[in-house]
Amino acid sequence: MRRPTGGPNSLHMPLLSSAPTAASDVARVHDALARARARLVARDAVTVRDQVTLAEIPAPTGEEEERGAWVARRFRALGLADVRVDAAGNVVGRRPGEDRSEDAPRVAVCAHLDTVFPRETPLQVRHEGRRLVGPGIGDNGRGLTAMLALAETFDGVQLRTRHAIEFVATTGEEGLGDLRGAKRYFAETPNVVAAVALDGAGDERIVHRAVGSRRFRVTFAGPGGHSWAAFGVPNAVHAAARAAAAIAALPLDDSPRVTVSVGRIGGGICVNAIPADAWLEVDLRSTSGAMLDRYEQSIRRAVHGAAYEENVIRAEGTPALTMRVEVIGDRPGGELAAEAPLVAGAVAMTRLVGRVPELGAASTDANVPLGRGVPAIAIGAGGRGGDAHTPAEWFENAEGAVGLARALGIVALAAELVGAA
């Protein structure tokens, strides 16, 4: 550990070495952040107002431009450097660190812009007692607001870090967005030594295991025809049903855990016609890339088997059914060991703000850096919430500043705090 330099309020706690993070080092950083935490508390009402404003700006996956433009204006108002919108629609701004070398390390703080709600969804946030209720108020209105609060607090004057901190409002985190924004950012950005994704509410959970997923669209196509006159031609819906049943019957491993489900299925044009086409969509998940590979092959065998079985029983001389498996989503999995410095530091900071840390697994923007070997975690951004991905989604600002303080401490550790006032 390098000794403090530059006066009584300076310190330097390298977190990302291979050695475990000492509890005393984390405590010293936490103590040094006392005034910064007080500033977060003082601005708590403003933070919540920003959260409501953001939640009421539509941002369906693939249509995040309006919300992104609002965030970009705030980044510029906060004085972040090199504010830009990249080719994926990510909004990026940087708070420079004291290391200004050409290959200086940087820490990424991410929060996703998009929501699961279609553009026509009413987004007005209403008050119900202590709760704010509205689509996206927590996921990810809270994460974006927390990112803005941190960008203001890490001002480069009262709080200084050795490493630059890059704040990234990402696109395409939800659904079939397939982590588009995070994939673009981490593929194009060198020297990222740690990443923290802010996603939703909460102040206890630390996601250090990335649940990877592959999503498939399976299609069957045949000649179709009248349900009586053309009976005997292969039935695309029957094949889709066979495939769905075979996929549902796959024996699944539980160490590491694997899940597979058919999420949607359809086909045909009417009840009295043999369908010429049918489709289903499959969601496969695991923290293990090897398991994703293995079960992808099992799914493909099930689909080929379904097409074969339908073709075997077709009437002689009728055209065969064809099939296709298309990958429509591919989220990498990965895991950062519980004893890794970033996780250990997050655990210690969680305890220091008076919460009990919970290690967990999820699918977030942190999947991408973990899949690329970059230390990464995802955390909630304070307060309490529920009913995510529904119009009744709610957020309660119950000691919300505690979650912001935790995030502040975790990022300060990762970026190596060198001065606090």
**pLDDT mean across residues, the chain:** 94
With b for 16 or more beta-carbon neighbours within 10 A and e for fewer, the 113-130 pattern comes to bbbbbeeeeebebeeeee
Instruction: Answer for the pair 268, 278: CB distance below 8 angstroms, yes or no.
Output: yes
Strands of 344-383, DSSP E: 358-362, 376-379
- What mean pLDDT is predicted for residues 58-74? 98
In this prediction, residue 276 carries a pLDDT of 98
Question: Which residue, among 162, 138, 164, has the nearest Cα to 403 in the 3D structure?
Answer: 138
Band of pLDDT at residue 11, cut at 50, 70 and 90: low
CATH topology of domain 23-210+333-420: Aminopeptidase (3.40.630)
The pLDDT score that the predictor gives to residue 185 is 98
Supply the pLDDT for residue 10. Answer: 45
Lowest mean pLDDT among 44-48, 144-148, 286-290: 286-290
pLDDT, one tens digit per residue, over 114-158 is 999 999 999 999 999 999 999 999 999 999 999 999 999 999 999
Q: Is the pLDDT of residue 14 over 80?
A: no
In angstroms, the CA 282 to CA 217 distance is: 7
Q: Which pLDDT belongs to residue 7?
A: 38
- Rounded distance, CA 385 to CA 202, Å? 7
* Bigger pLDDT: 76 vs 2: 76
Q: Report domain extents, the chain.
A: 23-210+333-420, 212-331
Instruction: Identify the H or E element spanning 188.
Output: helix 180-188
CB atoms near residue 226 (< 10 Å): 11
Whole-number pLDDT of residue 172: 98
Q: How far apart are CA 194 and CA 148, in angstroms?
A: 19
Q: What is the DSSP letter of 10?
A: B
pLDDT score of 48 more than 50: yes
Predicted local confidence at residue 28, as pLDDT:
95
Alpha helices in 225-288 (DSSP H): 236-248
Helix (H, G, I), strand (E, B) or coil at 318: coil
What is the Cα–Cα distance from 168 to 416, expressed in whole angstroms? 19
Q: Once rounded to an integer, what is the mean pLDDT over residues 172-186?
A: 97
Supply angle C-alpha 48, 54, 57, rounded to 5.
Answer: 150
CA-wise closest residue to 294 among 329, 260, 246, 337: 260
pLDDT tens readout for residues 184-233: 999 999 999 999 999 999 999 999 999 999 999 999 999 999 999 999 99
> How far lies 262's CA from each of 9, 183, 256, 258, 354, in Å?
56, 26, 20, 14, 41
3-state secondary structure of 301: helix
Q: What is the pLDDT of residue 18?
A: 40
What pLDDT, on a 0 to 100 scale, did the predictor assign at position 21? Answer: 59
Q: 319 Cβ partners below 8 Å, 6+ apart? A: 222, 223, 233, 234
**Nearest Cα residue to 378 out of 182, 215, 224, 237:** 182
pLDDT of res. 154: 98
Backbone Cα Rg of the chain: 25
Is residue 205 within 8 A of residue 380, CB to CB? The reply is yes
Q: What pLDDT is stored for residue 198 in this prediction? A: 98
Asked if residue 102 has pLDDT above 60, the reply is yes
With contact defined as beta carbons under 8 Å apart, do 26 and 349 qualify? Answer: yes
Please report, rounded to a whole number, the percentage of residues in the chain having pLDDT higher than 90: 92
Across the range 305-334, mean pLDDT stands at 97
Specify the pLDDT at position 25: 87
The 10s digit of each residue's pLDDT in 311-323 is 999 999 999 999 9
For 212-331, CATH number?
3.30.70.360
Please give the average per-residue pLDDT across 9-24, as a whole number.
Answer: 52
pLDDT in tens, 400-409: 999 999 999 9
